[in-house]
Chains A and B, each alone.
Chain A
Amino acid sequence: DQQVKQNSPSLSVQEGRISILNCDYTNSMFDYFLWYKKYPAEGPTFLISISSIKDKNEDGRFTVFLNKSAKHLSLHIVPSQPGDSAVYFCAASATGNTPLVFGKGTRLSVIA
């Protein structure tokens, strides 16, 4: 049973436009949601997070939106840059130090 789902395996966006990556979850106990970025031959790198008491968190070009009633979150990158091309993983955890549960990832390609 996949608790965190990223239904789009890949996404292609032109440089300068907005990239929107989506994530759905099934476990209502999840309280924290994170996005990680992964380049080839490297480990995942933390990007941005949000707690369930918020519906939006912004950090520079990256904004995460959470719709708790729909169990859905999205990552917006604007403007997209070629260096953003990577695999993006959505992850979630319940309160405390419980391990993160990851989705399968979405490969973003930003075309110059």
Chain B
Amino acid sequence: DTGVSQDPRHKITKRGQNVTFRCDPISEHNRLYWYRQTLGQGPEFLTYFQNEAQLEKSRLLSDRFSAERPKGSFSTLEIQRTEQGDSAMYLCASSSRTSGRATGANVLTFGAGSRLTVL
């Protein structure tokens, strides 16, 4: 179990460019989540997958954002025509039905994040 991996860890881009982030979840986890975190805020939910199906998308996920999980394993988050307001830490997390431990809670395991800076 190598945990949740995210790549790249840092990305600096110019406004208007497209960027793509990759997330490799824990191998036995069938649920995968994308969150965004800005300074002074907690993680904000963007979207989540169960296997390859995208089950929910937040209002935060504008048309410029698209996420995929083609084979139910790794996922990509693409941002088209980046804006300065997209600068944030993009966090990926995964979980499974048995991640609830003793309380039954949906315990998410997070990666270290991909920090995006849009100039």
Contact = CB atoms under 8 A, between A and B. Distances in A.
Bound together: yes
Given A43-B4, A104-B42, A32 B112 contact: no
A57 interface: yes
Contact of B108 (A4, A9, A96, A100): A100
B112 A51 contact: no
Given A43-B91, A44-B43, A101-B45, A32 B104 contact: yes
Interface in A78-112: 89, 91, 93, 96-105
Contacts of A50: 103, 105
Contacts of A91: 42
Interface residues of B, number: 29
A96 to B, nearest CB: 7
Contact of A32 (B31, B40, B48, B105): B105
B82 interface: no
B105 A51 contact: yes
Interface in B41-92: 41-45, 48, 50, 56, 91
Contacts of B110: 36, 43-45
Nearest to A101: B45
A36 B101 CA distance: 15
B100 to A, nearest CB: 8
Contact of B113 (A36, A43, A99): A43
